[in-house]
Amino acid sequence: MNVKNLFDLTGEKAIVTGAAQGLGEQMAIALAEAGADVAVVDKNIEGARRVSESIKNLGVNSIFVKADVTKKDQVEEMVKTCMERFGRIDILVNNAGIVSNFPAEEMEKEEWDKVIEVNLTGVFLCAQAVGREMIKRRKGNIINISSMSGLIVNRPQPQVHYNASKAGVIMITKSLAAEWAKYNIRVNAIAPGYMRTPLVDKVFPQYGGEWCSLVPMGRLGDPSEIKGPVLFLASKASSYVTGSVLVMDGGYTVW
């Protein structure tokens, strides 16, 4: 198989959660540019509709689905909708996530629960529901979006709940990769560093200078730079890769 064919996703059916903006939007577009039909999933229905329409302009099929990944019934309904429209699910990108900053000694349990539910429980619920369909077909590919925060402690902002959630995503990835390899389901993770997403832009004036000084490449990543890593993990180019964490952080974690 030549290299171009290795990255070809023509006819594949994909779900990307948290795809109404930022990294999720870029990953959904990347899969579509490689030929996949993409379900754009988000609580922000206007953003999801916009991304879905832009994907259709690439000549592939797309739907948008409103779903809260922390709600088991909504996740199951999301899978049902995608199965009805696409007939199968080949690729799941678990991207939906949130972050907040609180000193650990001041953090309310409600704030801890909110971040853990979206970033960790949401990843499991989506993987579980989609995984059941993939198991039936003995084929599938799940890509979980962790963070370099699952490997190191960020500074200067305090975010123990976020760091813990992203470390948990890495272990969910490894555990599911081990359990589901027998079903020909690959499970990997991407661990981005600081990326200039709309959420990061809001706090860039406060933290951006220090963040850039801590990155060997001296800058934050552009959201479009995640397109290559997600395509690699979603395609046949990574056919013997499972349980891995692809770190893309400009070198942040090497220091």
What CATH number should be reported for the domain holding residue 176? 3.40.50.720
DSSP code for 191: E
Identify the domain containing residue 210 by its residue range: 3-246
What is the pLDDT confidence band of residue 198, given thresholds at 50, 70 and 90? confident
CA 25 to CA 48: how far, in whole Å? 9
Spatial contact of 233 and 36, defined as CB atoms under 8 Å apart: no
Query: Taking the complete model, does pTM exceed 0.95, yes or no?
Result: yes
pLDDT given for residue 65 in this prediction: 98
- The 10s digit of each residue's pLDDT in 52-106 is 999 999 999 999 999 999 999 999 999 999 999 999 999 999 999 999 999 999 9
Q: Into how many domains does the chain fold?
A: 1
In a domain? residue 74: yes
In a domain? residue 111: yes
- Mean pLDDT along residues 194-218: 93
Q: φ, ψ for residue 241 (rounded to 5)?
A: -115, 120
pLDDT given for residue 129 in this prediction: 98
Q: Helix, strand or coil for residue 239? A: coil
In a domain? residue 229: yes
Spatial contact of 141 and 26, defined as CB atoms under 8 Å apart: no
Higher-pLDDT residue of 1 and 242 is 242
Spatial contact of 187 and 126, defined as CB atoms under 8 Å apart: no
User: Does position 1 have pLDDT exceeding 90, yes or no?
Assistant: no
- The 10s digit of each residue's pLDDT in 154-193 is 999 999 999 999 999 999 999 999 999 999 999 999 999 9
pLDDT given for residue 3 in this prediction: 92
In a domain? residue 251: no
Spatial contact of 98 and 159, defined as CB atoms under 8 Å apart: no
- The 10s digit of each residue's pLDDT in 6-62 is 999 999 999 999 999 999 999 999 999 999 999 999 999 999 999 999 999 999 999
Average pLDDT, the chain: 97
In a domain? residue 154: yes
Which residues are tagged catalytic?
Answer: 162
What is the pLDDT confidence band of residue 107, given thresholds at 50, 70 and 90? very high
In a domain? residue 214: yes
In a domain? residue 141: yes
pLDDT given for residue 117 in this prediction: 98
